[in-house]
Amino acid sequence: MVTKKTIIVTGGAQGIGKCISQYLLEAGEQVAIADIDTEAAAECLQQFSRHAESLLFVKTDVSKETSVRECIASVVERFQRLDALINNAGIAQPHSGPVENLSLEKWQEIIQTNLTGCFLMSKHAIPHLRSCKGAIVNIASTRAFQSEKNTEAYSASKGGIVALTHALAISLGPDIRVNCISPGWIEVSAWRKLKLATRPQLREIDHLQHPGGRVGKPEDVACLVKYLISDAAEFITGENFIIDGGMSKKMIYL
């Protein structure tokens, strides 16, 4: 008998996280969506209702340790195990205004959610992951390696996730594998909650600036997540995988 993996997906109710949640459920796994947005989560529970026995929603603020601790406890109580953690939750606000006008409060909010949240979820998941020889996948961004103006807080948080990944991999190996995915342009308009969802408005030039020939889809990330938490990836740890259709490798002359 094949045992289903139990996987927590933070920020799993919208965007890339929602696609990851759906992808893993359809692969036969047990998924706990940890998200702060109860409206988006309620829609997921309805949309994924045929997987109800394998699905759990836990309202979670990843920036608060008490909330994180309660999330992990709820998941383990429901499914009796934890095999993988997908740290996807984050504030997607790359343009925060000129750095001299960036408030300390806004800086701390982005760092606390995107980076500290990743640390807190990992910290409290580790004892359970260790007993299952589990895996962690952190979702960073190509913003960790290249920038536009006025993205200091967001870029710093994503760069921190990449560094945290290899640090955790060394500290937790060989019991727990830790890897990172850095997506580029992933079109998520259709994966937002219903009142915010829109049809993608993409131009030919948007696709053609990618050597891969198109803008990314959430499924591109979800399928790599599935592989990285599988037994087939048991020799992969401490790595960062860029998924951007080759865009960050393309030289641009002005």
Would you please indicate which residues are annotated as catalytic (active-site) residues? Answer: 154
Whether residue 174 has a cis bond before it, omega within 30° of 0: yes
Instruction: Compute the distance between CA of residue 224 and CA of residue 26 in angstroms, rounded to an integer.
Output: 15
Q: Which position has the token pair 């750095």?
A: 99
Name residues whose C-beta falls within 8 Å of residue 105's C-beta, 6 or more positions apart in sequence.
none
Nearest-10 Cα torsion for 123, 127, 133, 137: -20
> How far is the CA of 237 from the CAs of 93, 138, 173, 234, 250, in angstroms?
29, 12, 8, 8, 27
**Alpha-carbon span 181 to 166, nearest angstrom:** 12
Residue type, 199: R
Strand boundaries in 25-66, DSSP class E:
30-35, 55-59
What span, in angstroms and rounded, lies between the C-alpha atoms of 229 and 111? 26
